[in-house]
Amino acid sequence: PYTTLFRSTYDAFHRRTSMALHRGETVVCDAASFTRSQRNVLRGLAEEAGVPSGVIYVKVATEVAVTRWQQNRVQPSRGDVRDENFAYVLDNFEPPSPDEDVLIYDGSIPAHSWVSRHFAKVKPSAGI
């Protein structure tokens, strides 16, 4: 269920990502990318720029995701996700496979420690 606005938003996101990669910047795309085809688009942008890519899989049990989503409705700490969009992602989610160069974050250690461990040499940028 992609609207014209959704497509134009992702088109702009992909253009900005491509430009940043071609400038030699490190890019972390925090879009959901819940299907392999969505991740393939981003991998293609990296290939075109001649840079490596990988997937950070934030592995969260479905029950935990649902609980967090519902709790956010009671006590908002981030933007809301509409019911139909949440259901669509749950129904269509494709976990990354090992051939996608995957790093898994499972929440067993604090996020900042995990990031430091895996990305010690990455410098923050202004973002895209």
SS3 letters across the chain: CCCHHHHHHHHHHHHHHHHHHHCCCCCCCCCCCCCHHHHHHHHHHHHHHCCCCCEEEECCCHHHHHHHHHHHHHCCCCCCCCHHHHHHHHHHCCCCCHHHCEEEECCCCCHHHHHHHHCCCCCCCCCC
The model's pTM = 0.82
pLDDT (0 to 100) of residue 3: 59
Give pLDDT, residue 2: 54
**What percentage of the chain has pLDDT greater than the value 70?**
90
Burial 79-117 (b: 16+ CB within 10 A, else e): eeeeeeeeeeeeeeeeebeeeeeeeeeeeeeeeeebeee
Per residue in 6-54, pLDDT (tens digit) is 778 888 999 999 999 999 998 988 888 899 999 999 999 999 999 999 9
Q: Is the pLDDT score of 102 beyond 90?
A: yes
Q: Is the pLDDT of residue 60 over 70?
A: yes
